[in-house]
Amino acid sequence: MHQTVGFIGLGIMGKPMAKNILKAGYSLLVYDVNEEAVKDVVSAGAKRADGAKEIGEKCNVIMTMLPNSPHVEEVILGEDGILNTLPPGSVLIDMSSISPLSSQKIAKALAEKNIAMLDAPVSGGEPKAIDGTLSFMVGGEKVVFDAYKPLLETMGSSVVHCGPIGAGNTTKLANQIIVALNIAAVAEAFTLVSKTGVDSSCVFQAIKGGLAGSTVMNAKVPMMLDGNIEPGFKIDLHIKDLSNALETGHSTGAPLPLTAADMEMMQTLHADGYGQKDHSALSKYYEKISAKPSENDE
């Protein structure tokens, strides 16, 4: 039997990820503010903790899957955080998608207590979280990565070491920039197709196998053509990722003009009530700006 692993954060992604760790034979002690999510994972075989602090007291391997940098920092570095209870020699594996600068800040505080850390954000969304085929992009010491790669492989089909602490989240930000710009490019292109009156489905079939083809195109164009904007991956979450990308770009001197433009498009969609819809709703942005003004507007 494997050692008991602490798991904090049982959201859309964290809950199925935790269940896959259980299926692999690990014991889990779990915590989340959402009591229903905790009950669900406990019914699958996990044990319940009353808070993050208790997980720090009882586990020397802890995994976090939380919304953003402030949440991770609070759980680890806060007054009731696990930093106060974790013994030296423990390991934290943060699977949240946060700022690389935040990962480095947390890792430094942990290192002062001889606690190792991996930043290991994931790509693949809820479907791949459920079937255990996520892609992990991991930063941290190679020896720590090698030791815990089997644990990550219970949840993912691709687990790649990208460099020192922060490298995992830098890789994830690069991923999120490419996905966001790809969706925007597809939405822009198919707006042109629609305005010219050519059959969009024929255009999709004609170009998806060529250089313009992509995983994003295959996933998102059918949704756009069907008018389906149910998530998937929410606009508000992508705004969070692009915000972290822009912050990192500003701090390192990396120009991100296309990312900034895409961010403004997504912020417009958020203001229009699409924040909880799929990022394929970028097509709605183009519908909005390409609509003919009514007579009353003239």
Query: Catalytic amino acids?
Result: 172
Contact 151, 4 (CB under 8 A): no
Task: Extract long-range pairs of 193-199: CB within 8 Å, 24+ residues apart.
Answer: 195/290
Q: Are 173 and 245 in contact (CB under 8 A)?
A: yes
Burial class (CB within 10 angstroms; exposed 0-12, middle 13-18, buried 19+) of 24: middle
What sign does the dihedral 72-74-80-85 (CA atoms) show? positive
Element at 159 (helix H, strand E)? strand 156-163
Euclidean distance between CA atoms 204 and 214, whole angstroms: 11
* Residues in the chain, total: 298
Q: What CA–CA distance (Å, rounded) separates 51 from 260?
A: 38
- As given in the structure block, the two tokens for residue 142 are 């190679």
Rounded Cα distance, 28 and 46, in Å: 5
In which element (H, E) is residue 196 found?
A: helix 167-196
- Residue 234, SS3? strand
CB 82 within 8 A of CB 52: yes
Nearest alpha carbon to residue 123 among 73, 171, 190: 171
